[in-house]
Amino acid sequence: MSTRSEKMEAFGRILDIMDELREKCPWDREQTMESLRNLTIEETYELADAIIEKDMDEIRTELGDLLLHIVFYAKIGDEKSVFDITDVINTVSEKLIFRHPHVFGEREVTGSKEVISNWEELKMKENNGTKRVLSGVPKTLPALIKAHRVQDKARAVGFDWASPDDIWEKVSEEVGEVRSELRSGSREQLESEFGDLLFSIVNAARLYDIEPETALERANLKFMHRFNYIEEHARANGRNINALTLEEMDALWEEAKQKENN
């Protein structure tokens, strides 16, 4: 692996490249923080895909793309005289030191749960203690991830179920409320009850240390693989998938499922 000096040299190289791009490339010169925002989101999802697929080469590539974006934003900040890459790095370094007193200070911890609890406690002390517990959850997070994050932050200050087993009564209650609203015909209230049910399912996953976004994405990929199998089988036999009966599709679904287990 690289030495410390090689790592510093590589980081300096990308800073130099960014300086050249902003000066000489028309496209790079035109970019703003606003124009880069959606591209950054896309790159983040591409990294997430690579992690799900455990593709280390692709993870390395996507990490590089994200690093490029960080350097890009810092360069724009430097041009506006509001911050530069040194400020960015020092800010996160100071934050890490402040929120890890068990590493850089005298506080002792018994495990990772206490680390998380201390993290949230220390986070609330920043900005003269005016930060709210849920203030760090981005408004634009996808709803599933946001649900997990707000539950996790509430847990860190002690607002949580006493035992993971306790959540199932709540899940059952929410299922009952959804079924009740199905009979009432109120679409707005039905949407609300579905939201409560989904929120409780996310809570259940969290309590059992399951990342719900990852779990759902794996379910998506599983469904897509099996459905594609049905479609490909139909085409191989000169048929359109629309022409298959539900019984035929179910049989092919089970066939695809069996192949996964072999």
pLDDT tens sequence across 10-34: 999 999 999 999 999 999 999 999 9
DSSP calls for 35-60: HHHHHHHHHHHHHHHHHHTT-HHHHH
Q: Where are the domains of the chain?
A: 4-85, 137-210, 214-261
pLDDT digits (tens, 9 = 90+) for 198-256: 999 999 999 999 999 999 999 999 999 999 999 999 999 999 999 999 999 999 999 99
Dihedral sign computed on CA atoms, order 120, 126, 129, 134: negative
pLDDT given for residue 127 in this prediction: 62
> Residues 130-149: what's their mean pLDDT?
86
pLDDT given for residue 106 in this prediction: 81
Q: DSSP character for 85?
A: H
> Residues 135-146: what's their mean pLDDT?
88
User: Can you tell me the distance from the alpha carbon of 252 to that of 250, in angstroms, rounded to the nearest whole number?
Assistant: 5
Is the pLDDT at 98 greater than 70? The verdict is yes
Give me the chain's average pLDDT, please: 91
User: Residue 152 has which token pair?
Assistant: 């996790």
pLDDT given for residue 26 in this prediction: 96
pLDDT digits (tens, 9 = 90+) for 38-94: 999 999 999 999 999 999 999 999 999 999 999 999 999 999 999 999 999 999 999
Is the pLDDT at 130 greater than 70? The verdict is no
Nearest CA to 44 among 112, 138, 135, 116? Answer: 138
Nearest CA to 135 among 73, 144, 125? Answer: 125
Percent of the chain with pLDDT over 90: 74
pLDDT given for residue 128 in this prediction: 65
> Residues 102-118: what's their mean pLDDT?
81
Nearest CA to 42 among 69, 15, 18, 17? Answer: 69
Is the pLDDT at 36 greater than 70? The verdict is yes
In three-state secondary structure terms, 9 is helix
pLDDT given for residue 10 in this prediction: 97
Q: How many CB atoms lie within 10 A of CB 229?
A: 17
Is the pLDDT at 116 greater than 70? The verdict is yes
> Residues 148-176: what's their mean pLDDT?
92
User: Can you tell me the distance from the alpha carbon of 95 to that of 56, in angstroms, rounded to the nearest whole number?
Assistant: 29
Residues 6+ apart with CB under 8 A from 62: 43, 46, 47, 50
Residues 6+ apart with CB under 8 A from 151: 160, 202, 203, 206
CATH topology of domain 137-210: Helix Hairpins (1.10.287)
pLDDT band at 129 (very low <50, low <70, confident <90, very high): low
User: Can you tell me the distance from the alpha carbon of 4 to that of 151, in angstroms, rounded to the nearest whole number?
Assistant: 39
- Is 4-85 CATH 1.20.120.1200? no
